[in-house]
A and B are shown apart, each in its own frame.
Chain A
Amino acid sequence: MFSPDSATREAEKFLCELNITELPINPFAIAKGLGIKVYPKQIDSEGVSGMLIRHDDQFAIVYATHIDSEGFQRFSISHEIGHYKLPGHVDAIFNEENVHQSRAGFVSNDQYEREADHFAAGLLMPTDLFLAHMKTAGEGLDAIEKLASICITSISATAIRYVQQTDIPAAVIQSVSSTIEWCWMSNVLKEIPGLDWIKKCTSLPRNTATYDFNRNKSNVIEAKRIDSTSNLQDWFNCQFDVEVIEEVKGLGKYGRTLTVLTAEEFDLEELQEEEEIDDSWTPHFRR
Chain B
Amino acid sequence: MSTNPSEVFPARLKAARGKRALTQGDLARKTKLQPSAVSHFETGARKPSFDNLKRLADALEVTIDYLLGRVDEFKGVGPTTDRIHRHIEKLSESDRQIVEDILKSMNTRSRKEE
Q: Do A and B come from one complex?
A: yes
Q: How many residues of A contact B (CB 8 A)?
A: 48
Q: How far is the CB of A264 from chain B (nearest CB, A)?
A: 38
Q: Does A51 contact B (CB under 8 A)?
A: yes
B88 touches A102 (CB 8 A): yes
Contacting residues, chain B, for A90 (C-beta < 8 A): 5-6, 9, 47-50, 53, 68, 82
* Among candidates B49, B65, B81, residue contacting A84 with C-beta atoms closer than 8 Å: B49
B91 touches A47 (CB 8 A): yes
B interface, CB within 8 angstroms of A: 2, 4-6, 9, 46-54, 57-58, 63-65, 68, 79-92, 94-95, 98-99, 102-103, 106-107, 109-110
Q: How far is the CB of B32 from chain A (nearest CB, A)?
A: 9
Contacting residues, chain B, for A103 (C-beta < 8 A): 88-89
A60 to B83, CA, bound (A): 9
Contacting residues, chain B, for A92 (C-beta < 8 A): 84
Contacting residues, chain B, for A84 (C-beta < 8 A): 49-51
A interface, CB within 8 angstroms of B: 34-35, 37, 39, 41-42, 45-60, 62, 76, 79-80, 83-95, 98, 101-103, 106, 109, 112-113, 116
Contacting residues, chain B, for A79 (C-beta < 8 A): 86
- Which residue in chain B gives the minimum CB-CB distance to A117? B86
Q: How far is the CB of A107 from chain B (nearest CB, A)?
A: 12
Contacting residues, chain A, for B92 (C-beta < 8 A): 45-48
* Among candidates A45, A59, A85, residue contacting B95 with C-beta atoms closer than 8 Å: A45
A55 touches B81 (CB 8 A): yes
A98 touches B2 (CB 8 A): yes
A48 touches B49 (CB 8 A): no
* Among candidates A41, A53, A86, residue contacting B82 with C-beta atoms closer than 8 Å: A53
A4 to B94, CA, bound (A): 32
